Amino acid sequence: MILVTGATGNLGKSTIEFLLKKGVAPSNIAALVRSEEKAIDLTNKGITIRIGDYDHYQSLVDAFKGINRLLLISGSDIVNRSKQQENAVKAAKEAGVKHIFYTSFERKNETDSSPIHFVAASHMATEALIQQSGLVYTIFRNNLYLDILPWFFGDNVLETGVFLPAGETKAALTLRDDMAEAIANVLITDGHENQTYALSNLENVSMADLAKSLSDIVGKTIPYTNPSTQVYVETLTKANVPNEFIGMFAGFSEAIKQGEFETSKSDLETLLGRKPITAKQYLATIYK
């Protein structure tokens, strides 16, 4: 049986959908949730529901019993994620899980000087724990989601243009559903033992490239403005954007500028069996 954690989140739901589309019986898929009320749609599809909480170790041990393949989707509680995922890895080993799959992320700078060290630290800790656990593992290093671009751009991008302190550096932004399908393909096939896969797009694009693509799609010039981080933070603060979003947008923009997500290495096309969706194709679905 395959168990998917984070099953009510976007990546978890999408992975389960692809497992079903590829012929996996609902009875052979389990979903880890904190309450059954949040998983009615999964229950209606015949998915087995396992109740567990990353903060309660024994609940994870109980939930993971009888599971052959565990997809550990990284949690959203960045402050507590390292300990929570440590609980999950140790519980998987105690419960007798045969193979653990973990969704990590693409990066170059693994020191605390990284502008996104607050995100990277828990991923690096979890990867190390998995590799030292003795469990058979597969690690996915996911690049930035194309799906976050509308958040970065804001609601008025077609009027005001792209405004981000991301420089001219490129990044291999990747559609979340392409990642989910690749992960599903790995979950249902053999030969992925103790492998680390790069789930990145085949092309690297800059914010200037994306603004040009938007211009082509909507038929008018969409400018790209590359402010300093200070000006960017001040502008968003005056616009009453919540501080946590400002910090996240600024941090990831700086990481893009420093080349954290630019890469020539990708296993995505091989795992998908087709070319992934490009940034311009994605933007066309949102803005055309």
Reading the block at residue 187, the tokens are: 């979950």
Question: H or E element: which one contains 83?
Answer: helix 81-95
**Buried-state track 227-237, b at ≥16 Cβ within 10 A, e below 16:** eeeeebbeebe
Which CATH code of 3.40.30.10, 3.90.660.10, 3.40.50.150, 3.40.50.720 fits the domain covering 2-142?
3.40.50.720
Q: What confidence tens digit (pLDDT) does each residue in 242-251 have?
A: 998 999 899 9
pLDDT of residue 107: 87
Domain ranges of the chain: 2-142, 144-173+200-263+275-288
- pTM of whole model > 0.85? yes
**Which residue is it, tokens 């193979």?**
99
Strands 99-105 and 29-33: unpaired
Q: What confidence tens digit (pLDDT) does each residue in 222-238 have?
A: 999 999 999 999 999 99
Q: Where are the beta strands (DSSP E) in the chain?
A: 2-4, 29-33, 48-51, 69-73, 99-105, 136-142, 162-163, 195-199, 224-225
pLDDT of residue 111: 84
Q: 233, 250 in Cβ contact below 8 A?
A: yes
- What class does CATH assign to 144-173+200-263+275-288? alpha beta
pLDDT of residue 35: 84
Q: What confidence tens digit (pLDDT) does each residue in 31-60 have?
A: 999 888 888 999 999 999 999 999 999 999
Question: H or E element: which one contains 171?
Answer: none
Given a cut of 90, is residue 116 above it in pLDDT?
Answer: no
Distance in angstroms (rounded) separating the CA atoms of residues 281 and 33: 33
Average pLDDT for residues 169-192, to the nearest whole number?
Answer: 97
**Which residue is it, tokens 């019986």?**
25
Reading the block at residue 218, the tokens are: 């909507």
Given a cut of 80, is residue 78 above it in pLDDT?
Answer: no
DSSP assignment of 111-153 equals STTSTTHHHHHHHHHHHHHHHHS-SEEEEEEE--BGGGHHHHH
CA dihedral of 21, 27, 28, 34, whole degrees rounded to 10: 100
- The SS3 call for residue 39 is helix
